[in-house]
Chains A and B, each alone.
Chain A
C-alpha cells in the first residue's frame, strides 16, 4: 500500500461540498421527491467521507459503515417513496409547502 496520491483532506472537502449542496437542496426545493434525492446526496457525501477515513486508517470498519448506510438508505427510500405515494393519493400534490399535517 503505497502513499496515496490524493490526500484524505481532499476527499473530505469534496464530501463537505456535496453534503452542503444536498442540505441546500432539502431546504430550497419544494418537490418532495427532490428533497428526497437531496437527502440521498447528503448520505452519499457522508459515505464518501467514511470511505476516505477508512483508507486513512487502513480499517475496514469505515467501509462496513458505508455498506450499512447504503442498506438503511435503501429501506428509507422504500418507506419515503411509499409515503410520498400515499400523500399524493390524498392531496394530489407532492408540493411540500402544501403539507402542514403536523399542525392544527
Chain B
C-alpha cells in the first residue's frame, strides 16, 4: 500500500519537475514547482516527519512560491524573448551528459553503498537519582566519581540527565562527606543501555539494609489515554506485596518482592484508588492511594516505603514520582525539543541570517542602490584629481 502510494506520488513529483523545466511560461513553471513541493510534503509524512510536511506546505509551497509568483508578475518576466539567440548552444548536450553521469554515480552510490543498515536506536541512556531510603538523611551521589546529585533529601529525586551507555559505578555518600576519605553508604555497578531511562533508587529503612534499585523505564510515550506505572517495594519488613487497583478491582503488580522493580504496567487514565496488600491478602492494606487522578501520557514511579514515627511505629508511605517520556519521532514536540535544546545556537544563527537577508533585500531593491554606481555622492572629490592636475596629465 505504502509502496504503491510512493510510486504514484513519486511519479507525480518527477513529472511536475520535468514540466517545470520545460514550461516556457515562468508562471506555469512556478505552479508545477508548487505541485512538486506538495509531493515532497507528502513524502515527509511518509518519512515520519509531520512537522516538516507542515512547514513544507506553509512556508515553501505557500510563502516562498507566492513570493516567486509575485516577482514574476511584477517584472512581467513570464517568458524570455525567444528571439535572443543563446551563445551557449553546446550547453544542452554537455548539461544532459553531466546530469546523466551524475544520476548514474548517485544510483551507483545508492545501490552499492551501505545504505541498508539495521536501524539503530541512538537515544542515549538517561539517569536520575531517587532517595527513598528513610534511614538516610540527604545524600551525595557519584557516578564514576562524578557528582550527579548533591544533598538529595529523602523522598526527592534529581532530574534526568543524559549519560554514556555502559557499566557505571554508582556510589552514595552522606551529604558533605569527602568521597576520597569515607566509605560510601551504598555502592553498586549498574548497566546503562541506550534508549532507557533509569531511576537509581536508594531504599532501606535501616542502615543495615540499604540497597540501590535501578528502576528501568521505557522512554516511549504511552499510547492514547494510557499511562505507565512502575513500582518498587521498599517496605521495612521486606515482605512481598500485591498492588491492586481497588476501584477497578484489578491486580496491577503481583508478588512484588522487596527491592524489586517490575517493568511498567499500562493503566487507563482516570481516577483510581490503589492499594498495597501483603501477597495473597486482599483485605488488610499496608498502604492506600485513595482517589488518585492519573493523567494520560505519563510514566509514573511508585515507591512503597515507611518512615519511623515516635517509638517503633512505622508509617507506611507511597512516594509518587513522575517519570520521563520522549515525544514521538518527528512530531512538532520532538522537533521543538531538539530546536530549543541541542540546536539553540544554530537556530539563533539562522534567525540572524534571516534578519540580514531581510535588510539585504531592502537595501538591494532600494532605488538609490541601483543607481549608486552611476553618480557620485555630493562633495566627493576623487583623490586622484589634484595629483593629475599637479602632474599635468
A residues adjacent to B (C-beta < 8 A): 1, 4-14, 16-25, 27-34, 36-38, 40-41, 44, 47-48, 51-52, 54-61, 63-64, 66-68, 70-79, 81-86, 88-90, 93-95, 97-98
User: Is B353 located at the chain interface by the 8 A CB criterion?
Assistant: yes
Query: Could you tell me the distance in whole angstroms from the C-beta of B45 to the nearest C-beta in chain A?
Result: 10
Residues B59 and A28 in contact, CB atoms below 8 Å apart: no
**A-B pairs with beta carbons under 8 A, tally:** 239
- Type the 1/0 row for B42-83, where 1 means its CB is closer than 8 Å to any CB of A: 011011110110011001100110011001101101011100
Residues A74 and B47 in contact, CB atoms below 8 Å apart: no
Q: List 5 A-B contacts (CB under 8 A).
A: A8-B116, A9-B116, A13-B106, A67-B335, A68-B346
User: Is B237 located at the chain interface by the 8 A CB criterion?
Assistant: no
Q: In terms of DSSP, what is the predominant structure of the interface of chain A?
A: helix
Residues B110 and A13 in contact, CB atoms below 8 Å apart: yes
Given contacts A28-B21, A67-B335, A70-B56, contact A36 B68 (CB under 8 A): yes
Residues B96 and A77 in contact, CB atoms below 8 Å apart: no
Query: Could you tell me the distance in whole angstroms from the C-beta of B338 to the nearest C-beta in chain A?
Result: 5
Other-chain contact of A95, B3, B81, B121 (Cβ < 8 Å): B81
Given contacts A64-B338, A75-B354, contact A9 B17 (CB under 8 A): no
Residues B21 and A21 in contact, CB atoms below 8 Å apart: yes
Chain B residues, CB < 8 A from A7: 116
Given contacts A82-B360, A95-B81, contact A24 B29 (CB under 8 A): no
Residues B99 and A82 in contact, CB atoms below 8 Å apart: no
Complex: A83 Cα to B63 Cα, angstroms: 18
Residues A11 and B43 in contact, CB atoms below 8 Å apart: yes
Residues B365 and A86 in contact, CB atoms below 8 Å apart: yes
Interface size class on chain B is: 35 or more
B residues adjacent to A (C-beta < 8 A): 1-3, 6, 10, 13-14, 17-18, 20-21, 26, 29-30, 33, 36-37, 40, 43-44, 46-49, 51-52, 55-56, 59-60, 63-64, 67-68, 71-72, 74-75, 77, 79-81, 84, 86-88, 91-92, 94-96, 98-99, 102-103, 106-107, 110-111, 115-117, 119-123, 329-330, 334-335, 338-339, 343, 346-347, 350, 353-354, 356-358, 360-362, 364-365, 369-370
Residues B6 and A61 in contact, CB atoms below 8 Å apart: no
Query: Could you tell me the distance in whole angstroms from the C-beta of A47 to the nearest C-beta in chain B?
Result: 7
Other-chain contact of A51, B43, B63, B71, B111 (Cβ < 8 Å): B43
Complex: A36 Cα to B77 Cα, angstroms: 13
Query: Could you tell me the distance in whole angstroms from the C-beta of A34 to the nearest C-beta in chain B?
Result: 6
Chain B residues, CB < 8 A from A51: 43-44, 47, 49, 52
Query: Could you tell me the distance in whole angstroms from the C-beta of B115 to the nearest C-beta in chain A?
Result: 5
Q: Taking CB as reference atom, which chain B residue is nearest A85?
A: B365
Q: Apart from A74-B354, A79-B361, list 12 A-B contacts with CB within 8 A.
A: A7-B116, A14-B43, A18-B13, A21-B99, A44-B40, A57-B119, A58-B122, A66-B52, A75-B353, A81-B67, A82-B360, A88-B77
